[in-house]
Amino acid sequence: MMHVGDVTETLAAEVGLRSDEEIVRLRQIVRDHAIAQGFSLVDQTKFVTAASELARNTLQYGGGGDARLSKLTNGVRVGLRLRFVDRGPGIADIERALRDGFTSGGGLGLGLGGARRLCDEFEIQSEPGKGTVVSITKWKLR
């Protein structure tokens, strides 16, 4: 368990992302935790969709990696945070990659910008040759 400011973060699950089956497994784990946190069907769908897009990016462009799901509490709010980490080639131009219409291939066609819009918080760090870390968070009132 980790405290950052007023936020308490507890690791709920870790999933390696090295195959399509693991992406399916991650989607189910995220959905199960979103249901347990009391997220609406719309918010469950948004978070699972963003998770799926980012997991696919981790596998396809990052050469595989890991996802860490955490449960969050912050006063009257509860939430979920997902961190995707890969050691792939990185993203040379993050601003360009976040723009609508930017694609480097398959996926749901949402891209990073679409995944960002589906969540309440979105952070990305990437360094060419060293990999990418993307963190998404969804909140709800208790």
pLDDT averaged per 10 residues in sequence order, the chain, 142 residues: 80 97 98 97 97 95 97 95 97 84 59 93 95 97 89
Q: How far apart are CA 76 and CA 14, in angstroms?
A: 26
Q: How far apart are CA 79 and CA 54, in angstroms?
A: 18
Which residues are paired to 16 by β-bridges?
66
Q: Is the pTM of this model over 0.75?
A: yes
Whole-number pLDDT of residue 109:
58
| CATH no., domain 2-141 | 3.30.565.10
Q: Alpha helix (H) ranges present in 41-128? A: 41-60, 94-98, 111-117
Whole-number pLDDT of residue 22:
98
Tokens for 38? 């009391």
Whole-number pLDDT of residue 27:
97
> C-alpha distances in angstroms, 119 versus 35, 49, 85, 130?
16, 10, 18, 25
Q: Alpha helix (H) ranges present in 10-110? A: 20-36, 41-60, 94-98
Whole-number pLDDT of residue 4:
64
